[in-house]
Structure 1
Amino acid sequence: MSRSSWLFTLAVLLIPFSVYGLVKWYEGRFQRLPVLAPTDDRVAAFVLQNQEGKTVRGASWTGKIVVANFFFTHCPVVCPKMMYGMKRVQAYGKADGLRLASFSVDPERDSVAQLASFAEKRNIRGNNWDLLTGDKRTIYSLARHAFRLTVAEGDGGPTDFIHSEQLVLLDRAGRVRGYFKGTEEPEVNALLRAIEKLSRE
């Protein structure tokens, strides 16, 4: 086979791979994220306190991209990994007005003072990340109905407990656009890409 024939054959063989690569690149960059849950009025309605004792209203998230998780400060293994994932999200910062919210699922123990101590120990800084505490029924209603983290029934009472490793991505309309396992680096990487994609919508 002559050199020109060999090069032609190679080019023909490479065309399908090139086309496939372009399609996957286009999908990864431009295909819209799915809407996994609609806007829920509970998000705009909640009123809780953050680690500085300031009142945080869900209505303030309107028009912002939000990454949220549910944790508790005395969680020994899973939550520290999740919070590291959240710190990576905060450092990424490619979405204008990006907000981070960590809801305590044990608000009776996680007072404002406890959240402040936790934030200090974990070096959680910045004005765009709230560690939230307050009424347990409010928090658990958000977890179940707005963020849809569990299908298990419960009323947020004393024996009710929700624990999830998921980081939840909300768009500017308050819709759920993705769930990402906050303890796994590849999943957090996927979340960062999703934030970048969502910021272009």
Structure 2
Amino acid sequence: MSNDPRTHEVANAPVEQPGEAESPENDTPAPPERSRIAQLARSPFLWAFLFGIVLLTLIRPFLRNVPDPPPVIGEIPAFTLVNQDGEPFGSANLAGDVYIAGFIFTNCPAYCPKITQAMRGLQTKFEEGDVPVRLVSFSVDPERDTPPVLRRYGEEYGADFRRWNFLTGPPEELKRVIIDGFGAWYGPAPAKDVSLMEISHTLKLALVDDKGNLRGFYEHDESGTDEILHRAIHVLREAQRR
């Protein structure tokens, strides 16, 4: 037996097995968790899923289920008035379109700004959802609400005149359309209300279908505009199924 210490050093040295060679530090594989995250980030399915969530959030208001279409209340008679550009505009221009009508006058200090702002909000939502519902504001003060006045008023509220028209015309024709047709009302305000408005009128928004039928009146507050928005879309779908 050899007493050479070198012999013992060789005998006790660890034997390197095949495939166990030490790798450089830079070749250390990434932790499994990090690898999985990187793979997910590159996955087209993940991005499609996220896009779907965002899209659903945007269009969700337009997918709300309304069980039954609003009933037909009456028929709006044929009419021709004048819009903010001084051009004839009436039922013939609206034929085949669903629209929402409001009743205002530009000197109104109380409710009309709220009604017009509510219609401005509807315009925004219809534009975002690419929903072809139109808007019409009928003036109940034709003597002062001339076409130029109505145009300035509409511009103040950001009206898109391709979708939203402001109408005036002969007093008798307006009364025939608003009172006889819509079944709405307007006239001189009672003495106790003169400080709020000179003209008393319907404060609700009206929904009219593509055949010129009146389908309902709705409040101009947030709850009412949310309801008329979904009802309008339901009536639009009803028309598209015909």
- 1:169 aligned partner, one-letter code: L
Change (3 A) 1:95 1:176: farther
1:77 to 2:110 alignment? yes
Q: CA RMSD in A?
A: 2.3
Contact kept, 8 Å, 1:65 with 1:95, in 2: the verdict is: no
Partner of residue 155 from structure 2, selected from 120, 128, 131: 120
Q: Structure 1 residue 121: deviation in Å?
A: 2.1
- 1:92 aligned partner, one-letter code: K
**Where does residue 228 of structure 2 map in the other structure?**
191
- 2:89 aligned partner, one-letter code: V
Greater RCO structure (CA 8 Å; 6+ sep)? 1
1:89 to 2:122 alignment? yes
**Where does residue 60 of structure 1 map in the other structure?**
93
Q: How far, CA to CA, are the matches of 1:69 and 1:86 in structure 2?
A: 8
Q: How far, CA to CA, are the matches of 2:161 and 2:185 in structure 1?
A: 30
What is the total number of aligned residue pairs between the two structures?
Answer: 163
Tell me the TM-score normalised to structure 2 length.
Answer: 0.62
Q: How far, CA to CA, are the matches of 2:216 and 2:166 in structure 1?
A: 21
Q: How far, CA to CA, are the matches of 2:84 and 2:132 in structure 1?
A: 20
Q: Equivalent pairs: percent with the same residue?
A: 31
5+ residue gaps, structure 2, are 1-63, 188-198
Q: Structure 1 residue 115: deviation in Å?
A: 0.9
**Where does residue 165 of structure 1 map in the other structure?**
203
1:178 to 2:178 alignment? no
**Where does residue 143 of structure 2 map in the other structure?**
108
Tell me the TM-score normalised to structure 1 length.
Answer: 0.74
1:143-170, Cα deviation, whole Å (9 max, x unpaired) = 1111111499xxxxxxxx5511110000
- 1:170 aligned partner, one-letter code: V
SS in 2 for 1:103: strand
Q: Structure 1 residue 125: deviation in Å?
A: 2.4
Contact kept, 8 Å, 1:62 with 1:172, in 2: the verdict is: yes
- 1:130 aligned partner, one-letter code: N
Contact kept, 8 Å, 2:185 with 2:201, in 1: the verdict is: no
Contact kept, 8 Å, 1:101 with 1:131, in 2: the verdict is: yes
**Where does residue 5 of structure 1 map in the other structure?**
none
Q: How far, CA to CA, are the matches of 1:122 and 1:196 in structure 2?
A: 23
Contact kept, 8 Å, 2:104 with 2:140, in 1: the verdict is: yes
